[in-house]
Copies of this chain bind each other. A is one copy, B any other.
Amino acid sequence: MSADLESELKSAMEKLGATAREAATILARTGGSAKNDALGRAAELLRARQDDLLKANDRDMAAAAKKGLSDAMMDRLKLDPERIEAMAAGIEAIADLDDPIGGVIAEWERPNGLRVQRVRVPLGVIGIIYESRPNVTADAGALCLKSGNAVILRGGSESFHSSRAIHACLADALAAAGLPEGAIQMVPTTDRDAVGHMLKDMGQYIDVIIPRGGKNLIARVQQDARIPVMGHLEGLCHVYVDKAADLEKAKAITLNAKLRRTGICGAAETLLVDEACADTHLAPIIKELLDAGCEVRGDQAVCRTDDRVKPASEEDWSTEYLDAVISAKVVQGVEGAIDHIVHYGSSHTESIITEDAETADKFLSDIDSAILLHNASTQFADGGEFGMGAEIGIATGKLHARGPVGAEQLTSFKYVVRGDGQTRP
- Residues of A at under 8 Å CB distance from B? 25, 28-29, 102, 108, 110, 114, 116, 121, 123-124, 207-208, 228-230, 246, 248-249, 252-253, 255-257, 260, 342, 360, 364-366, 368-377, 379-380, 382, 385-387, 397-400, 402-403, 412-424
Contacts and interface: CB of A to CB of B under 8 A. Distances in A.
Q: A379, A380, A403 — which one has the most chain B CB atoms within 10 A of its CB?
A: A380
A325 to B, nearest CB: 19
B114 A376 contact: yes
A90 to B, nearest CB: 17
A417 B373 contact: yes
A343 to B, nearest CB: 12
Contacts of A372: 414-417
Contacts of A421: 246, 248-249, 252-253, 375-376
17 contacts: A124-B368, A228-B397, A252-B421, A253-B423, A260-B423, A371-B414, A372-B415, A373-B418, A375-B420, A376-B417, A376-B421, A376-B422, A377-B424, A380-B419, A380-B422, A399-B400, A400-B400
Contact of A418 (B375, B377, B423): B375
Contacts of A28: 368
Contacts of A379: 423-424
A228 B416 CA distance: 27
Given A228-B229, A360-B418, A399-B400, 4 more contacts: A228-B228, A228-B399, A379-B424, A402-B412
A422 B420 CA distance: 55
A295 to B, nearest CB: 21
Contact of A399 (B253, B255, B385, B412): B412
A230 to B, nearest CB: 8
Contacts of A386: 110, 116, 415
The 8 closest A-B pairs by CB, nearest first: A376-B419, A256-B423, A398-B412, A249-B421, A400-B400, A379-B424, A376-B422, A399-B400
A381 B48 CA distance: 52
A405 to B, nearest CB: 12
B415 A256 contact: no
A121 B252 contact: no
A373 B419 contact: yes
A118 to B, nearest CB: 8
Contacts of A419: 373-376, 380
A25 B338 CA distance: 12
Given A114-B376, A253-B423, A373-B419, A414 B368 contact: yes
A121 to B, nearest CB: 6
A373 B110 CA distance: 14
A102 to B, nearest CB: 8
A110 B424 contact: no
A355 B423 CA distance: 16
Nearest to A411: B398
Contact of A365 (B29, B256, B360): B29
A379 to B, nearest CB: 4
